[in-house]
Structure 1
Amino acid sequence: MKTILHKASDRGHANHGWLDSWHSFSFAGYHNPDKIHFGVLRVLNDDIVLGGYGFPPHPHANMEIISIPLSGDLEHKDSTGRHAIIRSNDVQIMSAGSGIQHSEMNANADKPVNFLQIWVFPKQEGIEPRYEQKTYLPGQRVNKLQTVVAPDDSSAVWINQDAWFSLGNFDGGYTQHYQVKKEGNGVYLFVIDGSVQVNGQQLNKRDALGIWDTDSFTITAGAKAEILLMDVPMQLPA
């Protein structure tokens, strides 16, 4: 088993006033040659957007873009005519494919929205752009992992990649075994809240651990914990 620890305090940080953003990987003005990507996982941004603000229309192509609101509501519009509100406990994915424009705005004027924005390199380029959004209640993942993104599970939002994302809410002391979904994949474990240990490695709120060259590992919650597992190919597309 190989691992790489990314502490919350070591993330890139940009505060634009209306946007307070923490970058797990190189992004915009933050460049760290040791943190470009983890396999096909290219971006993991922890964004807080003030009420009434957001990202105006901008283009994307050939990227799988996942948004997971942690608090507040996010308003999405795109060039296909899609207009949706993404709320806490929702998971949204947009396959940019051959090209799409979208905007992401705080849906509320009086409170911030905190969301994770995640980019994954696609398995196949040039597909027709697509969008999907589903709601996953926290009670459905108490002391278990709930798959929310997958290429082969109708209960999850579909992704154009051999990647699986799971959310879990664990009581202190609970132990969860995880089996890597596909040979050649690794897992990027991100602690949304609380603390866990992974094979003896302590992780606290917003810490992350990349894990590869293994087919399984064990997670133990040190305190009540909420985690996101991103099981992704380690080999970049040719």
Structure 2
Amino acid sequence: MKRARVAFNGAVYGAVVEESGLLRLNNGRTVKEEEVTWLPPVEPRTIFALGLNYADHAQELSFSAPKEPLVFFKGRNTLIGHRGETPRPPDATFMHYECELVVVIGKTTRKVKAEEAYEYVQGYTIANDYAIRDYLENYYRPNFRVKNRDDCTPIGPWLVDKADIDDPMNLTLRTYVNGKLVQEGNTKDMIFSIPALIEYLSSFMTLNAGDMILTGTPKGAVNVNVGDEVVAEIEKIGRLMNKIV
């Protein structure tokens, strides 16, 4: 099942999509996609993000593939929903999208082995984790100004139950800017797989329901400008659209 969170007439609702394409709110009302404000599909707790988790992306940035996951935290202030607007800083010369598969943890997770990791997953969604490379000081210690800017990580539209994704490690990712395909990859090319990441993180800290793991992006970083419409798409999960302002 695909589930969303939206705001409508001053209240927050869960929502699912009907065959007609309308959204059915959890109060039974149906509305058009354009009538609601889309929210992150899960109210996040801890947000983890991976740097350089695709070898081709590391190569295009002239870095070697990491030997251990390069993990950093993101604040809740960074997240906005589907159809939201992301600001481009006026002094930025290189701002680019990053289409990423997001793993949502479903229950308390501590010292879990990789072979059991999927038992602790609730589902999956999409993030577009924009980066402003002008502010980057060190790829191995991502600068807060690069990855913790307000409204710079659209996420959604849907939380897709893990039971509906046969193999999350074989999903095609694509990004479109103004309708043009600019990025394409597959989750099978992750350096550290979803089970490996869950084992790694839970080996030294407790993960909780609602925690999110942004699993990195493949190559294809292209500058975006004010007015651009960007769509991050992942097979079987959906299409996440937002605009640069």
Higher share of residues assigned helix: 2
- Report the structure, 1 or 2, having the larger strand content: 1
Flag whether TM exceeds 0.5 (same fold).
no
- The normalised TM-score by structure 1 is 0.27
User: Which protein has greater RCO, CA pairs closer than 8 Å, 6+ apart?
Assistant: 2
